[in-house]
Structure 1
């Protein structure tokens, strides 16, 4: 039976089931760790159904530390991929509000503590950043895509927005730049079902942004981080 058929048959029921259990278990364990572990299990199973293999090198990270994870974004599958690659960390992601409108799934995201962002409303977006900062101060890792949306050009990263820089600076957490390469091939533009692919996830050396930048320097921070991640991305896609 073709794997893509299996994915189409089982992904939605599996997501509804996992989301329902996550909703019920939210709050169990420190920082809802039980629900997060189920999210990771959900992501592993979904990627297996899709035929997506994840090769992760996060050796640059301290397994006992907490980070602001800033990752490039190429695919609807990136959140699943990063759940698996960063499974040792209890993370919450900042994502577009449309995900939170999906029945059952969106309710579970919100209840577990993932953060919805409205990119069209500056005041609401800043509130989302403050919510992410509050999560970080509770000992939760926060994942944000500084491009703001998926890049449709797999040959390059898209321009970074300032929101991720503000969140990182306000949180006080060290920044862990994360390079995702190959996820564009999982669900290319115009495709409705996933393709088999191998995706690599690489953590660059983390750093303390407050040692180099203030909020007034966020544009310099944005430019410097883009250059660092763009250079690493091109090295990993050769």
Structure 2
């Protein structure tokens, strides 16, 4: 099998896209090629299956939608690349932990293409950058009393796996209005700062980042 097929959807409705992903996943067969959908959404908060209402502080008129992905509450909006890999893990012969690792690796490689160093935080899926030195290459040192001290979250991850097949995915912040993140505890962490590429001084556009992320996901998730 070849690399997953990349589909650039542009700005699409969140609810109908989730319905389409679920339908694709339920109807696919053993020989159905994997796909990766790249898109962005109008402003919306999404709650994971374990999401707690108290983490939505002040939605301010932005819709809050319950989803069947993992994780807590996050925000989607214009200027954010959302990637939805529709992958048969059985075909890849990998488990969920390795799948998450490969998605995060694709984000790290995408950031590196813009000279940004991303970091993982143990037990907190997603990718983070050092707010005072996003272009430095030094690794995080530990142990840290506050694992998020000095960090901003630049990519959030929430997935669903059904019969070894994945949907939902990862969101990478490019150049967006970050104010709505103040209305929630991002991913369930009170006070967690959220950043985008523009905020840390990277001048680029949605299409360039979507292309980079899509290519790296496709390479990492090929059989």
- Indicate the structure with greater helix content: 1
- Indicate the structure with greater strand content: 2
Same fold judged by TM-score > 0.5? no
TM-score by length of 1: 0.27
TM-score by length of 2: 0.28
